[in-house]
């Protein structure tokens, strides 16, 4: 039995994800690296599962998978924020995060 066959089937993740991702991300968003996008927008996402979809566009799939890795790794997200945000931008993200909780 191969590894994929051993996993539970969830048909929604076996459909193409391009249409969904292109609905939520603008072309300008997709021009940024996943690291920069995460630094600037991670606080806007309460849930994220797009990294579990399959993509015909390999570059788009790689971008989305990397974004998912960052969003689910607090240390990596912090590293990205410190790399891409000014101290003022970082303070703004912290304020917005605190308001949401």
pLDDT interval class at 30 (50, 70, 90): very high
pLDDT score, position 41: 96
Q: How confident is the model at residue 6 (pLDDT cuts 50, 70, 90)?
A: very low
Q: Are 48 and 34 in contact (CB under 8 A)?
A: no
Question: Is 2 strand, coil or helix?
Answer: coil
Q: Which two tokens stand for residue 53?
A: 């979809």
Instruction: Report pLDDT digits (tens) over 59-92.
Output: 999 999 999 999 999 999 999 999 999 999 999 9
pTM for the full predicted model: 0.81
Kindly report, residue by residue over 42-56, the tens digit of the pLDDT: 999 989 999 989 888
5 is written with which tokens?
A: 């066959």
């Amino acid at each position: 039995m191969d590894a994929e066959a051993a996993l539970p089937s969830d048909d929604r993740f076996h459909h193409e994800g391009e249409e969904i991702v292109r609905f939520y991300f603008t072309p300008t968003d997709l021009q940024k690296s996943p690291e920069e996008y995460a630094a600037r927008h991670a606080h806007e996402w309460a849930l994220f599962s797009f990294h579990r979809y399959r993509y015909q566009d390999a570059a788009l799939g790689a971008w989305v998978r990397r974004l998912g890795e960052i969003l689910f790794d607090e240390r990596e997200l912090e590293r990205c924020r410190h790399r891409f945000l000014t101290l003022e931008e970082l303070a703004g993200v912290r304020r917005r995060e605190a308001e949401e909780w």
